[in-house]
Amino acid sequence: MTASWVEVPEGSDFPLANLPYGVFDSGKGRRIGIAIGDHVLDLYAVADAGLVPHGAALQDVDLNGFLALGRSSWHEVRGRLTELLTDGRTEIQDAGIDAFHHQAEVTLHLPFTPGDYVDFYSSIEHAINLGRMFRPDSDPLLPNWRHLPVGYHGRSSTIVVSGTEIHRPRGQTKQEDEPPTEGPTRALDIELEVGFVTGPGNELGVPIDADDAGDHIFGMVLVNDWSARDIQRWEYVPLGPFLGKSFATSVSPWVVPLEALAPYMVPGPSQDPEPLPYLRTVGDWGVDLQLEVGLASVAMSEPDVISRNSFAGMYWTMAQQLAHATVNGTRIGPGDLYASGTVSGPDPGTYGSLIELTWGGRDPIQLSDGSQRRYLEDGDTVALRGWCEREGLPRIGFGECVGTVVP
């Protein structure tokens, strides 16, 4: 296992094998950096010293220009950064540049500027759970679910970086036999998701083949697609989610490159019936990614882990999602975000949303401070974490995706 001359604490999410990209500010404005151990390497400074290729794109204020360069350029830059940080190399020190900052001493920003946002519904366990709640007397899966990756276009302007406060949204709700009223949601929920960020786009009218998805997917982030269940319940028929979903979507600040995740890719689950030809893929498109959800009340110093599950079993894969999203010829662009939909496992402790964990509020969660939760209260903090760990391979992680609810 290759080591870095930069100290990487044991158990760190960010060893040399990871090198995720983000945008930070140390007091000099927004710059692109990579995480290594507890530090950020300033790629503006490294590019200014002429140590990496494609320096102009790496000296921008977000990743979009770099994402547009494409797979061969991503590979070239990653290879060079790995060289520079490998134990025994001294180019960065010899250049005499101030290139490292402690992560705790910088402000992290949204790493890319999303032009579009799509949210899928790709966990069969999650879809079955909600179907059982909402349609108890019929098949929990709607007829189209096993034939295509169900999704919708969300609002990209309210995608925010981890750490951004989440204001409790307002909207219309309706109780059983009462007229609708407007006010703050009383059923604020989370959705544990994983998203992928796109690079080069396509021409209008030209679909992306599922087997070419790797040329268009740069990397992955953790996503919390906050949801106001009571607002959504009243408004979503017949056109789907609107105000109940558009108020905030949190993403982790580090984009883990698909190239770093390659050793952790696994076959996707068996699909029955076999998908249509445009959704068939060659190779491994599942990701052996472990996920957990932490929840803390305002009285707690550390969150309780309320759910743990794996991303490896997602029914519809990234390649299939991208192929379906573009089969009609729609355009994608650098920095677009495509989220998986809630990731849930087969058992109660593996569900990725409170509506499932409490079964629609029927079975409240008991927190370690003695309080109970059916849905989120003001002051609650939610922290998502994700990491890949396999025998013989280094552990790599995504950091945290955190949000605190405010009135």
Q: How confident is the model at residue 2 (pLDDT cuts 50, 70, 90)?
A: confident
Beta bridge partners of 406: 167
The question of whether 153 is a catalytic residue gets the answer no
CA of 49: how far to CAs of 42, 78, 94, in Å? 11, 17, 10
Beta bridge partners of 405: 166
**Given phi > 0 = left and psi -120 to 50 = alpha, else beta, which region is 64?**
alpha
Q: Average the pLDDT over 148-158 and give the result.
A: 97
Q: How confident is the model at residue 233 (pLDDT cuts 50, 70, 90)?
A: very high
Q: Average the pLDDT over 392-402 and give the result.
A: 96
Do 343 and 372 touch, CB atoms closer than 8 A?
no
- Sorted by sequence, the CB contacts under 8 Å of residue 267 that are 6+ apart come out as 284, 285, 286
Q: What is d(CA 332, CA 325) in angstroms, rounded to the nearest whole number? A: 9
* Interval 84-95: pLDDT, tens: 999 999 999 999
Has residue 247 got a pLDDT over 80? yes
- Sorted by sequence, the CB contacts under 8 Å of residue 86 that are 6+ apart come out as 2, 3, 4, 5, 16
Q: What is d(CA 314, CA 385) in angstroms, rounded to the nearest whole number? A: 17
- Sorted by sequence, the CB contacts under 8 Å of residue 117 that are 6+ apart come out as 153, 154, 155, 156, 159, 249, 336, 337, 338, 339
Domains, the chain, with CATH or none: 21-109 (2.30.30.230), 117-406 (3.90.850.10)
CA pseudo-torsion sign 84, 85, 87, 93: positive
Q: How confident is the model at residue 266 (pLDDT cuts 50, 70, 90)?
A: very high
* Interval 156-202: pLDDT, tens: 999 999 999 999 999 999 998 999 999 999 999 999 999 999 999 99
Q: How confident is the model at residue 55 (pLDDT cuts 50, 70, 90)?
A: very high
**Angle, CA of 64, 314 and 291, to the nearest 5°:** 75
Beta strands in 322-368 (DSSP E): 337-339, 365-366
Phi, psi of 81 (to 5 degrees): -65, -40
Predicted structure pTM score: 0.97
* Interval 281-336: pLDDT, tens: 999 999 999 999 999 999 999 999 999 999 999 999 999 999 999 999 999 999 99
In percent, how much of the chain has pLDDT > 90?
99
Q: What is d(CA 198, CA 96) in angstroms, rounded to the nearest whole number? A: 35
* Interval 205-222: pLDDT, tens: 999 999 999 999 999 999
Token pair of 299 as six digits: 């009285």
Q: How confident is the model at residue 62 (pLDDT cuts 50, 70, 90)?
A: very high
Q: What is the DSSP letter of 162?
A: T
Q: Average the pLDDT over 382-407 and give the result.
A: 97
Q: What is d(CA 400, CA 296) in angstroms, rounded to the nearest whole number? A: 14
Taking all residues of the chain, what is their mean pLDDT, rounded to a whole number?
Answer: 97
Cβ burial of 113 (10 Å; 0-12, 13-18, 19+) is middle
Has residue 1 got a pLDDT over 80? no
pLDDT of residue 300: 98
pLDDT of residue 253: 98
As separate numbers, helices (DSSP H) first and strands (DSSP E) second, the chain gives 10, 26
pLDDT of residue 208: 98
- Sorted by sequence, the CB contacts under 8 Å of residue 392 that are 6+ apart come out as none
Q: Average the pLDDT over 375-386 and give the result.
A: 98
Has residue 54 got a pLDDT over 80? yes
Q: Among 126, 153, 167, 324, which one carries the catalytic annotation?
A: 126
